[in-house]
Chain A
C-alpha cells in the first residue's frame, strides 16, 4: 500500500520556466512533509519541508504548497535552472515516529 505517491515518473521543463512536482498521500496522520533532491551517484539531500499547520513554505526559488483536504502537496521551482535536473522525492512523517515514508520519485529534466 503506497501511502505517498508521486504519479509522474518524469517531467521535462524549459530553463527559466516553472517546474511543478506533485505528491499525494493517503494517511491523514502525516503531519510533516519533506522534499529531497537526488543527483546520480549521490544520496538524497534535503530541499524544503512543510508542517501540516501551514499551507505554504518558501525558500528562495523553491516553494512547497500543502492542501490537507486534498491530501496533496506540490513543489514549485521558479525559475528552473539546469542544475535543478535531478530526481525529487516527496516524503511524509508522523512527528515523533521519525520514520519517513517516501514517494516513488520524479525525474526532473531542465532543458536549455
Chain B
C-alpha cells in the first residue's frame, strides 16, 4: 500500500485555469512538503507545513498556494496556471524533530499547462 498518494497522476490543462493537486498520507507524519522537478534543476521546494496550523513558503512559492486540511492532507493550487508551471510535482512527508531528516515522497503528478 502506498503511504503517500497523489492525485491526479497526470493532468493537462490550459493557461489561466485553476488547478488543485492533492496529497494524502497514512504515515502519521506531521510535516508535509510540495516540490516541483524540472529537467536540470532538481527538486525545488514550493511550500511546506510543519503541522495543520503551520504553512511556510519555499524557494519558489509565487503562483502557488496550499491548504493543509488535516494532518494527512496537503493540497497545492495553481490559481491561474501558466505554461512555465509545466513540471513534475511531488509531495513528501517527514517526522518532526532533529534527527528525522529523511523525507518520504509520493509518486508524483505530471502537470502540463498548454
Contact = CB atoms under 8 A, between A and B. Distances in A.
Interface of A: 4, 6, 9, 32, 34, 36, 41-46, 49, 89, 93, 95-96, 98-100, 102-105
Contact of A34 (B35, B50, B102): B102
B40 A104 contact: yes
Most buried by B among A36, A42, A44: A44
A49 B102 contact: yes
A99 B58 contact: yes
A32 B103 CA distance: 13
B20 interface: no
Given A9-B40, A104-B40, A105-B42, A32 B108 contact: no
B4 A102 contact: no
12 contacts: A9-B40, A36-B105, A41-B107, A44-B43, A46-B104, A49-B102, A96-B98, A98-B100, A99-B58, A100-B43, A104-B41, A105-B42
Interface residues of B toward A: which range?
20 to 34
A16 to B, nearest CB: 29
Given A44-B90, A44-B105, 13 more contacts: A9-B40, A34-B101, A42-B107, A43-B92, A43-B105, A44-B43, A46-B103, A49-B101, A93-B101, A98-B96, A103-B42, A104-B41, A105-B42
Nearest to B43: A102
Given A41-B107, A99-B48, A46 B102 contact: yes
B68 interface: no
